[in-house]
Structure 1
Amino acid sequence: MAERDSKIKGTPLPRCPGPSVRDLALADTNPVPEFLYEDEYENLGSDPIPTSRYTDPAFFALENQRLWPRIWQMAAREEELPEAGDYVVYENAGKSFIIMRQEDGSIRSFANVCLHRGRKLKTEDGWTAELQCPFHGFTWNNDGSLKQIPCRWDFSHLSDEEMQLPEISVGRWGGYIFLREAAEGPTLEEFLAPIPEHFKRWKHEECATAIWVGKVVPANWKVVMEAFMESWHTVVTHPQLLPFTGDANSMYNTYGDYVNLTVTPFGTMSPHIDPEGKEQQWIVDEFVKYNGRSSDNYDENIAQEEGGYNVKVPEGKTAREALGASLRETTTKMFGHDVSFASDAEMMDALLYNVFPNFSPWAGFQPNIVYRWRPWKDVDHCLMEVRVLTRVPPGQPHPKAPPMKFLTDTQKWTEAPELGILGDVFEQDMDNLPYVQQGLKASMNGEVQLANYQEIQIRQFQNTLMKYVES
């Protein structure tokens, strides 16, 4: 077991045998940020989780009432509304909001509801010079101030001030736009900590959305989200990844109530793989074959740059060293940012941050995946969204984000070819998640049992959830 850092609270938890994240970091080609290999978590115990939190409509209603209005929600990216007058309609948990770019470049958000008879002002994203209700023509300026009331003589009881559109708090960080209904609570910086400090290296504000796909999943939003908060399901669900993924050797850090980090090493064999006869070149060949973090287009670009994935492991080097060197060179050529200083870990490992309750950005210098999960029509459904951010070359303008490709119920993730091999990985997850929801509803003992370490982030999430629901 690797030596532990003093940031662990309570008794250190056991680990899987084999090279730890710390071991790999200390052998890295370039220095690795300490927070990517130092343990930081609190032992949260072993109590079971009630299945009712995933299946009970009454609990679902409490989440909508007590959770969503009181937390920061990642609602959009800056590149979705680049020009003044651009707006995004963001909807979640029965609420609807308009996020609007103002003339001075600032962003404001308003309740997407006409104050006359309650019709939604907007039903899809777009550009507008004013916010006019399609029902009777009540009109507001883009800053939320009242512009016009038709037949104003019949509304002498209403003042311009009380007809101002209700405004929602907006926070901005790293190219992301956050909303919060409640006036009170932690600042966005407090809520995200320590992500803003960690991401100073990776600068998501220099990135733009290149791919965006969503699909409604027949499972509770927490069931689907929690499937991405641990890596050890790889051994059964994603066996094709085992030759180059240290699944059970992942590091799981937790930071307070709202943030956690999973570091799953790539370029190293799973401890579930028999290493007998497996050379470092074999690991590299399997990695480039199944690299689940790339889109088809990105794969083709790398293939062209690398001569068809012709990555060879030099004598005396490891697979991680060879892959890190190749990815640093290719990434610099493709996106124009010099990443020669980047560690092997930052070029290939799965560095997944989870922000309570439903936002998960990947870190590092490769195109970054960003997940978001939203409750859908009832307790048994959610909308899962997958973005891929790529770095904008220096001096070039940020392209406007593409609209989300919304897959139908009958379409598979593999029918979004822009996701590349990710689509296959998600389909493997979908082979589990609807049946998890069905199984939870059929449970005889009404309990979910969690691993003490490898599922500690799920327990952290559940503890924070109950602080809101029970308050």
Structure 2
Amino acid sequence: MTAKLDVKIDNTIGPRSPGPSYQDLLDKELNPVPDSLRDNTNPYLGSENLSVERYLSREFHEQEVEHVWKRTWQSVCRVTEISEPGDTFVYDIVDMSILISRTEQGELKAFNNACLHRGRQLIDESGNYKELRCPYHAFTWNLDGGFKGAPCAWDFHHIDKDTFGLTDVLVDTWGGWVFINMDKNAPSLQEYLGVLPSHFERWKPENGYKMIHVEKVIPCNWKVGWEAFIESYHAVATHPQILPYTDDADSQYDVWGDHISRTITALGVPSFHLEGLTDQDVVDNMLGVSAMVARPNNALVPDGKTAREYIAQLNADEFSSNHDQPLDSFATNSERMDSILYSIFPNFAPWAGFHPNITYRFRPNGDDHQTAIMEIIVICQLATGAERPKDTPVRRLGDDELFSQAPELGESLGTIFDQDLQNMPKIQKGMKNVKSGELVLANYQEVRIRHFHQTLDKYISGEL
């Protein structure tokens, strides 16, 4: 049954859903609520439409290559994936390739992945190398980028060994992730991330390990895929099975500066679009569908507890061993169960909280602006001093493989991604038939999409 369409209107911020807000739920927390969750920016960024050419045009793609991919900070891998001397990671974006190496002194260095002799790609695959040696003519560099030598050195007396080092790019780390930026004049990563490091200080993503990493080529422009994960508005039509325990319409949306935004969608609470659900209905549906909570047998909601409180306790019991103290002693219900999803412009979206956290990443599939690579990564946190499992390698799904067929994700979580995937090629095709040439956005529920495109425009225009 559909709920009434009355709306809350604040003249300073515009309409909001009439259901209980996320901040209303925080008011019921027993443990102290961190300031990061109380931050409620109430963004309004206008009501302008978007041109479909942003997704369809080859020219627009080439502007992105020049002004975005060459100038922004991008996550490439986990720090633990290149922790030993010689560990080298190859990161490809559009038609560019960057290699990141751990030197013998333990320093991280990043370089354009090209031999300075004849231009062959220097390193083809991530791995551990004693040196960076070109397979074509054996021109060789040290891990720190300094030139080591080449066969028949007598024929290259015009090369100055001291200045023939690899061309480096910026590299830095945050939250256990390695980031690169090809723009030598870019702001520091710390400045770029704005409020993010202070918000995540409580959740310590650097303590985690990569337990799942699945990627797939998807048949749409990378922004079509990206935008499906920075709004919850589509849940009512695309993911109806999660509505009994997902407060989709009352999600909170936030933006900070040009690079950071966030959606918080409360779980363990039925959607405002539904009526008549009991707390037991919420629990039964959540334990049957969600892959992010423990699933005991005979999960009956105790008298005096809400579904949200009960699920939060189940997660505290399940995940406390991953932390230095029991979660119910300090963590809010929200941090134990909700979808707290941040994004870093242009293409990196980590969840936050005290449970295994999904991270999304989208980028063009090579230099093809009509297909993209979608990555789903799950980071599991670890208590101080716990033995760290090895990060799982990426597994690429085939064109005909569904996310729900990936055993790492499981059928219920994978089905959610499959539902998103069903929309993506239809969006790419359908935009060609929008006669106005423009797309319409919600003012609040799709404000992160609007924020993303406004930042994108600033890079293309040279304002950033």
TM-score, length basis structure 2: 0.94
SS in structure 2 opposite 1:440? helix
SS in structure 1 opposite 2:20? coil
User: Structure 2: how far apart are the matches of 1:407 and 1:372?
Assistant: 15
**Aligned CA distance change for structure 1 residues 63 and 424 (closer, same or farther; 3 Å):** same
1:204-226 C-alpha deviation (Å, 9 max, x unpaired): 01101010000000100111001
Deviation, structure 1 residue 131:
0.7
8 Å Cα contact 1:337/1:394 also seen in 2:
no
User: Structure 1: how far apart are the matches of 2:385 and 2:264?
Assistant: 32
Deviation, structure 1 residue 353:
0.1
SS in structure 2 opposite 1:432? helix
SS in structure 1 opposite 2:16? coil
Partner of 1:405: 395
Partner of 2:306: 318
Which sections of structure 1, spanning at least 5 residues, go unmatched?
5-9, 295-301
**Bigger CA drift: 385-394 or 246-255?**
385-394
User: Structure 1: how far apart are the matches of 2:388 and 2:119?
Assistant: 36
Deviation, structure 1 residue 152:
0.8
Partner of 1:34: 35
Deviation, structure 1 residue 230:
0.5
Deviation, structure 1 residue 411:
1.3
User: Structure 1: how far apart are the matches of 2:324 and 2:395?
Assistant: 28
8 Å Cα contact 1:359/1:371 also seen in 2:
yes
User: Structure 2: how far apart are the matches of 1:72 and 1:119?
Assistant: 25
Q: Is 2:357 the partner of 1:330? A: no
Give 1:349's match in structure 2, choosing from 329, 338, 363: 338
User: Structure 2: how far apart are the matches of 1:393 and 1:371?
Assistant: 24
Partner of 1:290: 289
8 Å Cα contact 1:311/1:322 also seen in 2:
no
1:62-141 equivalence runs, <5 A: 62-141=63-142
Partner of 2:434: 443
Partner of 1:273: 274
Partner of 1:360: 349
Deviation, structure 1 residue 3:
10
User: Structure 1: how far apart are the matches of 2:389 and 2:87?
Assistant: 14
1:44-443 equivalence runs, <5 A: 44-275=45-276, 278-293=277-292, 302-303=294-295, 306=296, 308=297, 310-333=298-321, 337-339=325-327, 340-377=329-366, 378-420=368-410, 421-443=412-434
SS in structure 1 opposite 2:14? coil
1:34-93 C-alpha deviation (Å, 9 max, x unpaired): 332442043111110010000000110110011111110111111211211111100102
SS in structure 2 opposite 1:354? strand
User: Structure 1: how far apart are the matches of 2:181 and 2:36?
Assistant: 29
User: Structure 2: how far apart are the matches of 1:17 and 1:387?
Assistant: 34
Deviation, structure 1 residue 335:
5.6
Amino acid at match of 1:380: Q
Number of paired residues? 453
**Bigger CA drift: 99-108 or 265-274?**
99-108
8 Å Cα contact 1:90/1:96 also seen in 2:
yes
What's the Cα RMSD here? 1.6
8 Å Cα contact 1:21/1:37 also seen in 2:
no
1:216-255 C-alpha deviation (Å, 9 max, x unpaired): 0010011100111100111110000000000000000010
Deviation, structure 1 residue 285:
1.5
Partner of 1:297: none
8 Å Cα contact 2:322/2:382 also seen in 1:
no
**Bigger CA drift: 55-64 or 393-402?**
393-402
SS in structure 2 opposite 1:454? coil
**Bigger CA drift: 320-329 or 246-255?**
320-329
Amino acid at match of 2:433: A
Amino acid at match of 2:279: Q
**Aligned CA distance change for structure 1 residues 217 and 80 (closer, same or farther; 3 Å):** same
Which sections of structure 2, spanning at least 5 residues, go unmatched?
1-6
Q: Is 2:455 the partner of 1:467? A: no
User: Structure 1: how far apart are the matches of 2:9 and 2:18?
Assistant: 13
SS in structure 1 opposite 2:15? coil
User: Structure 1: how far apart are the matches of 2:306 and 2:237?
Assistant: 26
SS in structure 2 opposite 1:269? coil
8 Å Cα contact 2:100/2:109 also seen in 1:
yes
Displacement over 4 Å in runs of 4+? 1-4, 334-337
8 Å Cα contact 1:41/1:255 also seen in 2:
no
User: Structure 1: how far apart are the matches of 2:319 and 2:389?
Assistant: 19
Amino acid at match of 1:430: L
